[in-house]
Structure 1
Amino acid sequence: MKLLTLCLCILLVSCTSEPLNVRYYLLHTPQNTVDIKSDIAKPIVVVQSLKIADYLRQSNLVMQLGEYELHYSRQDVWAEELESSFYNALLQDLNSYGKRNYVVSSSPDATGATTIINIKLEHFHATDASTVVSSGHYWLSVDDIKVGKNKGLTTSSHSFYLESELKQDGYSHAVEKLRMLVENLANKIEKDISALPNN
């Protein structure tokens, strides 16, 4: 009986699966630049907090399978909340253009803002068609100087759908391409702000 119990224990131990090898990904990484004081001559733009779809509010990376199914990776996860990581990456990319000072709403410079951006991220994931996609909406609210500061806000609505082809397998490459989609969004926002009156 003891021998049978020992054999069963050995069998159970050998059947246990290997520990899950979890990989963590960052969307926003520090750049090798010195943070200098903002140029007060540049227009100030406030980037409001990002709103993201509920299905993106978890740490697992997502892949869309077919038209309606989503797969959440158990071993490929975001190192920090996607909401804050995406926001910080976008803010960094917007400021890289050097035409405006893009700031967070809690910044002391926010009171002098001429433009406010609100963003809703609806999709941000890889697909089984070897692509990554990002889509959503953003709204630009601009002070109407003729009416007076903070009295006349003109708001324009913009939707975006960005896609990039994957050349390699794996989530690491997908994250690299997703990061490029954030840069593309920053470029689109910058162009739309430049086209607004008084900008």
Structure 2
Amino acid sequence: MIRAGLLIAGLILLVGCASDPVSLNYYLLHSPVSEESASKEISDRLRIDKIRLPDYLKQRGLAMQTSPTTIFFSSQHVWAEPLAGDFLQTLSANLWQDQGIEVFSQNIYDKAQTTGVTLIIDDFIATHQSFVVLKGQYWLFPADGEPVSKRFFLRAEQQQDGFEHTVLQMRELIARLAQEMAQASRLLDSATPQS
């Protein structure tokens, strides 16, 4: 009996010493090293009122579609920050750097007479067909005028395997969405009668 107990304890110790801890890889959607120009001239302003992500994107692990009906969540490759906040930070940086659009978050500057934005993300994932897709809809709510709704489906072909390349492709898709939103905002501004 004692002999069996010592044997089991020895096996447990061997297994515990033999296994390496799982290392985690953390990913940021925004680029902390991208340069921002503080003295850039403001071409427009947007107020982001809401960003909604599907439940599968609220997980900590990065997701990848592995078949038409299944999604894999990585336990080793995880977001360093909640994705909704990181998405907003990346979108805001792209709107400012590439389009000259200053972005307010909701409740930051409520008195600003500016266009409000609600953004609903349906999908933001690497697919089993070697694409990264960003799909959803946004609404622009001008200070005076009717709201405008736009659906978008953006995709980028995967040139390499791996989560790091996927995150870089995701950044590019957000930059393309920012460009599309800026264009829609300018069209809305030109169509809205000035008082």
Report the TM range for the smaller structure's normalisation: 0.7 to 0.9
Moved segments of 4+, more than 6 Å: none
Structure 1 portions without partners, runs of 5+: 145-152
The reply to whether residue 195 of structure 1 matches residue 187 of structure 2 is yes
| CA deviation string 1:71-121 (max 9, x = no partner) | 10010000000000001100110112344322222233x423331111011
Aligned to 2:96: 95
Identity among equivalent positions (%) equals: 30
CA-atom RMSD, angstroms? Answer: 2.2
Contact 2:63 2:125 in 1 (8 A): yes
Aligned to 1:111: 111
Aligned to 1:46: 47
Per the TM alignment, residue 63 of structure 1 is displaced from its structure 2 partner at its CA by: 0.6
Aligned to 2:38: 35
Aligned to 2:83: 82
Contact 2:37 2:97 in 1 (8 A): no
- Amino acid paired to 1:32: E
**Alpha-carbon distance between aligned partners in 1 of 2:29 and 2:117, rounded to the nearest angstrom:** 21
The reply to whether residue 165 of structure 1 matches residue 168 of structure 2 is no
| CA deviation string 1:134-189 (max 9, x = no partner) | 11110011133xxxxxxxx3111111111111111111111111111110110111
- Amino acid paired to 1:88: Q
**Alpha-carbon distance between aligned partners in 1 of 2:98 and 2:192, rounded to the nearest angstrom:** 18
- What is the TM-score of this pair, normalised by structure 1? 0.84
Contact 2:26 2:80 in 1 (8 A): yes
Aligned to 1:15: 15
* Cα 1:98/1:70, change in 2 over 3 Å: closer
Contact 2:99 2:179 in 1 (8 A): no
Aligned to 2:72: 71
What is the aligned residue count? 188
SS in structure 2 of the partner of residue 113 of structure 1? coil
Per the TM alignment, residue 28 of structure 1 is displaced from its structure 2 partner at its CA by: 1.4
- What is the TM-score of this pair, normalised by structure 2? 0.85
